[in-house]
Amino acid sequence: MKFDLIINKKNYTVDVEDGTPLLWVLRDELELVGTKFGCGIGECGACTVHIDGKAERSCQQMVELVEGKEITTIEGLSENGDHPVQKAWETLDVPQCGYCQSGQMMTASAFLRKNPTPSPEEIRMAMHGNICRCASYNRIEKAVALAAEKLK
Amino acid sequence: MSNTFNRRNFLKLSLLASGGMLIGVGCSEEADMPTSTDDLDFHSFNAYIEMAKNGIVKIYSPNPEIGQGVKTSMPMIVAEELDVSWKKVHVVQAPLSNDFNRQVAGGSQSIRQNFPALRMAGATVKMMFLTAVAKKWDVGVDTLKVAQGIISSQDGKKINYEEVIEEAIKIPVPENAPLKNVEDFTLIGKAINNVDIKPIITGKPLFGVDYKEKGMKYAAVARPPFGASLQSVDDTEAKAVKGVEQVIQFNNKVAVVANSTWAAFKGKSKLKIEWGNLQDDENTTLFDQKMAQLLHNGKLEEKIKSGDISKAKAEADQIIEQTYEAPFLPHNTMEPMNFFADVTDKKIRLVGPTQVPRSSANVVAQLLERNVEDVTVEMTRMGGGFGRRLSTDYAEDAAMVSHLAKAPIKLMYTREDDMSIGQYRPKVKYKITATLKNGQLTGYQLKEAIVNNNGMNKGIAKFFPFGAVDHYLAESANVPADVTTLWWRAPITNFLGFATESFMDELALKLQKDPIELRMELLENAKGKKTPYSPERMQQTIQLVKEKSNWGNAPKGIYQGFACYYSHNSYVAEVCDLEMIDGKPIAKRFYASVDCGIVINTSGAKNQIEGAILDGMGHAMYGNLELKDGIAQSQNFDKYKLIRMMDTPVIETYFVNSNQAPTGLGEPGMPPAGAAYANAYVKATGKRMLKQPFFS
Ligand code: FES
Ligand code: FES
């Protein structure tokens, strides 16, 4: 079946079965592989994208339900990789293996848009849903705070 | 990539097992011109270094990158000795090649074992440039100076490396290029960003799962519970899934080949498989019983003995005994197992995440009865390793499916596959007995019961407190199992470190000594003895964390726990600050001191310690994989708890200033972490943690 999607401000038409998770449409059909597969059940956050500005798990979003919505992936977070969140991640050299980080940044950027002046506790709560198996949590936490500074 | 690689044999560098250098001068194969255009600009000096006319230096990083940072730190070492500006360095992951020594990510040995070869690779090429310029200016080589790729003469002339590439490349490869003095390092010891930071933060294809080729199919494989066998499979529904192209049975497994990952996963979930021969003794409770029995009165194999522990027991005025238990653990790399294989009559191409490219090539060649020369392996960046990718099982499956399906395929694991068909951290128990006389530790007996013969080797059996007590005995017993087990970050020591260091804490309490003082005294006894660890370096490391953590003077309401451990040739001491918040003990801060010799990249190094501590503490708190009839009882993150942000303390890391050769870093931070936490926990609550996970 054909579906019309708006991803990173571009229009795409994809031909996939209904019920296909957005995650696999992005990765296998559109070669937007920055969005990662970690668990497939909404538990790890590796697949986080923005849908109409909200952080969502793309492994839990069936393609037919996101038609016409504004989808943003890590590839579209900024033109040149210079979103304040990306800058902060770079400044603090956050990643270890790096695999979880696009999901972390998508969660962080959606969160900061909603709450640009978060308390340390709010940052920890907001990021709690994203697993980092390498446990780069200290730097993620600092980077979200730094990004908030940059956004001011 | 691989087809252009041989020409870099111009100079072969490899490291002898002894750690000595062997520089073989390969004949120049420059006539074998590169095939792709972006290679045209680059002149190859040796397996590590290429340089372009515009001054860009390509440095090949030989070892697999699993998040431990070697793709940044190994090239830093080359660049240091080559003496070029890091800004001009472009790092490329090298494929599997005979040009390199030990292309393995394991045992925290990448830097330690390759340090001399990496330095020599850079120094040799620097010497070639110096020699070329000395000739050109008709001066002595030792009158020249070089910094950041610019050579200068005594009379003030300057020339850049890139201006003399043609001449330098013709210089005979020097045998013994001088290395820098450690004090003269300018790049080593700096905080350098991960070389892949840009592609990571912008979501570029980097990892095995991201790899794609035209015409490639996707495969998902159903595998039997441990010890079971394939009885029958009904694939009608699986084949009805749109996109599913083939269902293939092989070696007790069933592969679904499809045109997308989702179709392959969906197809696999529709297979109706009957497994026969389920093993009802592949059971956590049963393993528990067997281990307890072995530790109680079973026959154990002696690993290391000094003195006479029975004599110490007979003479003791107090004997302390304690048992520590750990479960199976899956590695749970964030990127599930996957591999690309293209098996044709001519060649076998493997691309993907592996910690062991060499053995991947070997086992696949063997499996398909092919020459290993026909196999090429390219390594992708890995979304974590932790030891899981030291196994070649998934690369073999990928190759077999490609062979049978007659198509290039990418094998993909679901998280459930990843967690349930693991190569687990072996389940293990330790029983430790100490004999005391007149307030002194006189004897120490360590008994181990572990599955699949994964127990400590003689080297580990000689870790602390071996050497510090007169009577010492380490023994091990094996519990055979069908469940597959493997190295898991800080193998053996990940739990032995916990057991030893928890026991030391208990001992200190019994002896009414400060836990740090007790270690210091015991280490004093070990001086001059033949031990794998240096008591002096451990003492120094402990001293550093003692100062930094304000040990003994923590503010009211902070409970401090201490642990230290030597592993992977490095020394780590940790203090955990725990606070009772709403009646709950919360780890607020960790202080870590580390002696890993020279620190190559301080940013990457700190990242490793931060990660290892949180990983160690997290798994000690929550990690648990139970088996029933050979079936993993947790298969995804809804039933398997990993540490998350709200549980994390702040980590402060301090490195011991050192000019000694660099040692391991990916693993040594982990073994003390659980114990430092537990030793703080007992202070705060009075409860001693003996069993992992601490919480369920
Ligand atoms: S892959 Fe979607 S939450 Fe884990
Ligand atoms: S950096 Fe490896 S999982 Fe987060």
Q: Which stretch of DSSP H or E encloses residue B52? A: strand B49-52
Q: Are residues B223 and B137 in the same domain?
A: no
What residues are in contact with ligand 2 under a 6 Å CB criterion? A 95-101, 132-134, 136; B 67, 334, 384
Subunit contact A99:B615, Cβ cutoff 8 A: no
Domain hosting B309: range is 285-328+425-685
How many folded domains does chain B comprise? 3
- The closest CB to that of A128, out of B386, B644, B651, belongs to B644
Rounded to a whole number, what is the distance in Å from the CA of A117 to chain B's nearest CA?
19
Rounded to a whole number, what is the distance in Å from the CA of B646 to chain A's nearest CA?
6
What is the tens place of the pLDDT at every residue in B575-623? Answer: 999 999 998 999 999 999 999 999 999 999 999 999 999 999 999 999 9
- Would you say the CB of residue A39 lies under 6 angstroms from ligand 1? yes
Say which residue the tokens 């990496």 belong to: B118
Q: How many inter-chain contacts (A to B, CB under 8 Å) are there?
A: 184
Rounded to a whole number, what is the distance in Å from the CA of A17 to chain B's nearest CA?
8
Distance B649 CA to ligand 1 centre (A): 25
The number of angstroms, rounded, from the C-alpha of B607 to the middle of its chain's C-alpha atoms is 14
pLDDT band at B696 (very low <50, low <70, confident <90, very high): confident
Mutate to test the pocket of ligand 2, among A48, A89, A105, A136 (most ligand atoms within 8 A of CB): A136
Question: Does the structure show a pLDDT above 60 at B93?
Answer: yes
Q: Are residues B310 and B182 in the same domain?
A: no
- The closest CB to that of B334, out of A38, A90, A137, belongs to A38
Nearest alpha-carbon partner for B178 in B124, B135, B141, B130: B124
Q: Are the beta carbons of B475 and B432 closer than 8 angstroms?
A: no
> Is the minimum CB–CB distance between A131 and chain B shorter than 8 Å?
yes
Angle formed by the axes of helices B602-622 and B671-685, to 10°?
A: 50
Name the residue of chain A whose CA is nearest to B207's CA.
Answer: A99
What is the tens place of the pLDDT at every residue in B210-250? Answer: 999 999 999 999 999 999 999 999 999 999 999 999 999 99
- Among the bound ligands, name the one nearest to the CA of residue A59: 1
Q: Is B229 exposed, middle or buried (0-12, 13-18, 19+ CB in 10 A)?
A: exposed
Q: Is residue B117 part of a domain?
A: yes
Rounded to a whole number, what is the distance in Å from the CA of B597 to chain A's nearest CA?
21
Give the residues across from B343 on adjacent strands: B348
The angle subtended at Cα B111 by Cα B107 and Cα B112, nearest 5°, is 75
- Would you say the CB of residue A43 lies under 6 angstroms from ligand 1? yes
Q: Is residue B23 part of a domain?
A: no
The token pair that represents B341 in the structure block: 């294989």
Q: Are residues B358 and B484 in the same domain?
A: no
Question: Does the structure show a pLDDT above 90 at B313?
Answer: yes
Query: pLDDT at position A152, please?
Result: 85
What is the tens place of the pLDDT at every residue in B240-279? Answer: 999 999 999 999 999 999 999 999 999 999 999 999 999 9
Could you count the other beta carbons within 10 Å of the beta carbon of residue B478?
17
Q: Are residues B401 and B482 in the same domain?
A: no
Phi, psi (rounded to 5 degrees) for B48: -100, -30
Query: How far lies A111's CA from each of A54, A55, A76, A85, B580, in Å?
Result: 8, 8, 17, 11, 29
**Mean pLDDT over each residue of chain B, to the nearest integer:** 92
Name the residue of chain A whose CA is nearest to B264's CA.
Answer: A24
pLDDT band at B16 (very low <50, low <70, confident <90, very high): very low
- Name the segment(s) of chain A with CATH classification 1.10.150.120: 84-151
pLDDT band at B333 (very low <50, low <70, confident <90, very high): very high
Distance B413 CA to ligand 1 centre (A): 14
Q: Are residues B454 and B391 in the same domain?
A: no
Q: Which of A36, A134, A136 to mutate to test the interface with B (most CBs of B within 10 A)?
A: A134
B-chain CB neighbours of A133 within 8 Å are: 332-334, 383-384, 386, 615, 642
- The closest CB to that of B384, out of A31, A74, A97, belongs to A97
Give the residues across from B59 on adjacent strands: B49, B91
Q: Are residues B354 and B249 in the same domain?
A: yes
DSSP state at residue B328: B
Q: Does residue B693 have a cis bond before it (omega within 30 degrees)?
A: yes
What is the tens place of the pLDDT at every residue in A67-100? Answer: 999 999 999 999 999 999 999 999 999 999 999 9
Nearest alpha-carbon partner for B216 in B409, B411, B413: B409
Side-chain half-sphere exposure of B343, counting CA atoms within 13 A? 24
Subunit contact A134:B384, Cβ cutoff 8 A: yes
User: Cα torsion at B550, B551, B557, B562 (round to 10°)?
Assistant: 130
Query: pLDDT at position B4, please?
Result: 28
Q: Are the beta carbons of B87 and B119 closer than 8 angstroms?
A: no
- Name the A residues in 24-83 with CB < 8 Å from any B CB: 24, 27-29, 31-41, 43-44, 46, 73-75, 81
Helix, strand, coil percentages, rounded to 5, for chain B? 35, 25, 40
- Whether domain A2-76 has CATH 3.10.20.30: the reply is yes
Q: Are the beta carbons of B144 and B133 closer than 8 angstroms?
A: yes
Nearest alpha-carbon partner for B644 in A28, A69, A135: A135
Question: Does the structure show a pLDDT above 60 at B534?
Answer: yes
Q: Which stretch of DSSP H or E encloses residue B451? A: strand B440-451
Query: pLDDT at position B38, please?
Result: 52
DSSP state at residue B582: T
Q: Which of A29, A96, A127 to mutate to test the interface with B (most CBs of B within 10 A)?
A: A96
Query: How far lies B552's CA from each of B458, B562, B577, B679, in Å?
Result: 36, 11, 11, 14
Subunit contact B68:A73, Cβ cutoff 8 A: no
The token pair that represents B257 in the structure block: 């080949």
- Name the segment(s) of chain A with CATH classification 3.10.20.30: 2-76
Name the residue of chain A whose CA is nearest to B242's CA.
Answer: A17
What is the tens place of the pLDDT at every residue in B445-501? Answer: 999 999 998 999 999 999 999 999 999 999 999 999 999 999 999 999 999 999 999
Q: Are residues B390 and B366 in the same domain?
A: yes
The three-state secondary structure class of B263 is helix
Span between the terminal Cα atoms of chain A, in Å: 45
Average pLDDT over residues B664-680: 96
- CATH code of the domain in which B470 resides: 3.30.365.10
- The closest CB to that of A125, out of B196, B637, B646, belongs to B646
Subunit contact A93:B191, Cβ cutoff 8 A: yes
DSSP string, B332-392: --SS--EEEEEE-SS-EEEEE--S-HHHHHHHHHHHTT--GGGEEEEEPB-S--TTGGG--
Query: How far lies B385's CA from each of A19, B248, B488, in Å?
Result: 32, 29, 9
Subunit contact B197:A93, Cβ cutoff 8 A: yes
> Is the minimum CB–CB distance between B336 and chain A shorter than 8 Å?
yes
Q: Are the beta carbons of A53 and A6 closer than 8 angstroms?
A: no
Query: How far lies B344's CA from each of B403, B404, B607, in Å?
Result: 7, 10, 42
CA distance linking residue B401 with residue B423, whole number of Å: 21
CA distance linking residue A129 with residue A104, whole number of Å: 9
Subunit contact A41:B415, Cβ cutoff 8 A: yes
- Name the B residues in 210-239 with CB < 8 Å from any A CB: 210, 212, 218
DSSP string, chain A: -EEEEEETTEEEEEE--TT-BHHHIIIIIS--TTS--S-SSSSS-TTEEEETTEEEEGGG-BGGGSTTSEEE-GGGS-SSS-SHHHHHHHHTT--SS-TTHHHHHHHHHHHHHH-SS--HHHHHHHHTTS--TT--HHHHHHHHHHHHHHH-
Query: pLDDT at position B107, please?
Result: 76
Query: pLDDT at position B104, please?
Result: 83
Architecture of the domain spanning A84-151:
Orthogonal Bundle (1.10)
Say which residue the tokens 């510090």 belong to: B468
Rounded to a whole number, what is the distance in Å from the CA of A43 to chain B's nearest CA?
6
Question: Does the structure show a pLDDT above 60 at B75?
Answer: yes
Q: Are residues B451 and B391 in the same domain?
A: no
Domain boundary among B412, B447, B472: B412
Lowest mean pLDDT among B95-104, B189-198, B296-305: B95-104
> Is the minimum CB–CB distance between A12 and chain B shorter than 8 Å?
no
Subunit contact A97:B334, Cβ cutoff 8 A: yes
Mutate to test the pocket of ligand 1, among A24, A36, A49, A57 (most ligand atoms within 8 A of CB): A57
Q: Is A104 exposed, middle or buried (0-12, 13-18, 19+ CB in 10 A)?
A: buried
The number of angstroms, rounded, from the C-alpha of B123 to the middle of its chain's C-alpha atoms is 28
Q: Are residues B538 and B643 in the same domain?
A: yes
The three-state secondary structure class of B477 is strand
Q: Are residues B240 and B324 in the same domain?
A: no
B-chain CB neighbours of A32 within 8 Å are: 203
Subunit contact B651:A138, Cβ cutoff 8 A: yes
The H helix count followed by the E strand count for chain B is 18, 29
The token pair that represents B26 in the structure block: 């390969």
- The closest CB to that of A98, out of B196, B205, B265, belongs to B196
Domain boundary among B163, B184, B201: B201
Question: Does the structure show a pLDDT above 70 at B22?
Answer: no
Q: Is residue B694 part of a domain?
A: no
- Name the B residues in 560-619 with CB < 8 Å from any A CB: 603-604, 607-608, 610-615, 618
Q: Is residue B37 part of a domain?
A: yes
Q: Are residues B323 and B341 in the same domain?
A: no
Contact partners, residue B148, CB within 8 Å, separation at least 6 = B83, B84, B85
Give the residues across from B52 on adjacent strands: B42
What is the tens place of the pLDDT at every residue in B115-174? Answer: 999 999 999 999 999 999 999 999 999 999 999 999 999 999 999 999 999 999 999 999
Average pLDDT over residues B643-649: 98
Subunit contact B610:A136, Cβ cutoff 8 A: yes
Q: Are residues B76 and B155 in the same domain?
A: yes
Domain boundary among B412, B440, B461: B412
pLDDT band at B14 (very low <50, low <70, confident <90, very high): very low
- Would you say the CB of residue A38 lies under 6 angstroms from ligand 1? yes
Q: Are strands B650-655 and B584-595 parallel, antiparallel or unpaired?
A: parallel
The token pair that represents B317 in the structure block: 């005025």
The token pair that represents B309 in the structure block: 């522990």
pLDDT band at B36 (very low <50, low <70, confident <90, very high): very low
Q: Is residue B152 part of a domain?
A: yes
Q: Are strands A70-72 and A2-7 parallel, antiparallel or unpaired?
A: parallel
Q: Are the beta carbons of B356 and B104 closer than 8 angstroms?
A: yes
CA distance linking residue B596 with residue B664, whole number of Å: 6
What is the tens place of the pLDDT at every residue in A42-65? Answer: 999 999 999 999 999 999 999 999
